[in-house]
Amino acid sequence: MPVRLDTPDAASLYPVAGVRLGIAMAGIRKADRRDLLLVELAEGTSVAAVFTQNRFCAAPVTVAREHLSVGSIRGLVVNTGCANAGTGESGMVNARRMAAAAGSALGVPASTVLPFSTGVILEPLPIERVEAGLPAATADLREDNWHAAAHAIMTTDTVAKAASERLDIAGNTITVTGIAKGAGMIKPNMATMLGYVCTDAAVEQTVLQDMLRRAADVSFNSITVDGDTSTNDSLVLAATGRAALPGINAGDTPAAVALYSAIERVCIRLAQAIVRDGEGATKFISIAVAGGRDRDECRKVAYAIGHSPLVKTAFFASDPNLGRILAAIGYAGISDLDVNRIRVHLDDVLVAEHGGRAASYREADGARVMQQDEITISVDLARGDATATIWTCDLSYDYVRINADYRS
């Protein structure tokens, strides 16, 4: 059951001029399920992307990287039900066929289409079904189809994930709208996570890529459900340039800063939605680490806490077994950490200081906070000015059930 998460209604997802989306039920793994998404991008759209760091990356990731390096991108095609990963040479052939078929459907070259797949690993992609489904997806292409598109990319997600903003930049209305999927195998760099964010602003490609890198760092690369990194993670940011606002050619102009803020907010909402819908999640946990020498060590501490199955099961049980948090900080890999200086809060409750439980701590206060479905763990390392925040969820029976049953 997701933690305080609903799909935004269709009317709140603003169309982005220059982006049309079409979906279909292609029967890739199961019948009567929306499992194919085609996205048409207007000519002149800038496209930036970041991909999984997994060495076993999926065939579509390899093909998408190739196509991005060639030049302008006019289309995206996404299937669920099969990840086309661990599929060797035939997987590459199928990923290329998928891009070519989508290119034909859109009337653009295969090399201008990025293919994406998500689902079970190590099984061959039924490419014929993808090809057979594309005419229906093409017939469905519409600018106001984001809501259906968010549903078409779901796998173990229980809630479709989307976010949208309109903002005014120098008197022009600019739109940023995005969708994402992912609920398990979630970890930085990145997750079984697909995200597509579009804006009608015009942004030069290298500026757009930098915006995406920065936004991904504080959103999709700051979450964890189970510590696993997928073979297929991909995040795309497209800027169609159909708005009247003059083109953005540098990252530090007022227009660029305003646009980046909106992109970052949309990415954070999508990333948090993935955690809120984390497999079996009953609690949404923010882990805020401050006082580090650098951001990297703050993230190490945050992820040591966020990955600990012992911490996560304690949160599931609403049990303020806070020693498990201290233990996780202790093994985060910071060799010269002085544990006597660390302060740990659970929301507003001071839990630990001077190397042990805070004198003021009362179990009833910890228990009160643990009952909430949204909780912040704050850790002050007291050795510098750096900070980092990540988001995670608890570990419940349902995580085991979902992942034990996934293929059945």
- Distance (Å, whole) CA 324 – CA 322: 5
Neighbouring-strand partners of residue 48: 237
47 - beta bridge partners? 238
Among 42, 93, 327, 382, binds its own copies (CB under 8 A): 327
Nearest-approach distance from CB 117 to its own copies, in angstroms: 12
Pairing of strands 386-393, 223-224: parallel
Query: Which x/- pattern, by CB under 8 A, does the window 284-303 give for its own copies?
Result: --------------------
**Which member of 12, 66, 109, 123 binds its own copies (CB under 8 A)?**
123
CB of 337 to its own copies, least distance (A): 5
- Residue 58's identity, in one-letter code, is A
* Contact by Cβ (8 Å): 216, 48: no
Of the pair 143, 373, the CB lying nearest its own copies is at 373
Query: One symbol per residue from 9 to 48: x for binding its own copies (CB under 8 A), - otherwise; what is it?
Result: ----------------------------------------
Footprint of its own copies on 163-202 (CB under 8 A): 184-185, 187
Q: Looking at beta carbons only, is 208 or 334 nearer to its own copies?
A: 334
Three-state secondary-structure class, residue 292: strand
Mask 389-408, x = binds its own copies (CB under 8 A)? ------xxx-xxx-xxxxxx
Q: How many CB atoms lie within 10 A of CB 202?
A: 22
Q: What is the DSSP letter of 8?
A: P
| 135 touching its own copies, by CB under 8 A | no
Q: Which residues contact 8 (CB under 8 A, 6 or more apart)?
A: 147, 162, 163, 164
DSSP, res 248:
B
384 part of the interface to its own copies, by CB under 8 A:
no
d(CA 164, CA 173): 13
Contacts with its own copies, residue ranges (CB under 8 A): 53-57, 83, 85-91, 120-123, 184-185, 187, 226-231, 307-310, 313-314, 316-317, 319, 321-324, 326-332, 334-335, 337, 339-340, 352, 354-357, 395-397, 399-401, 403-408
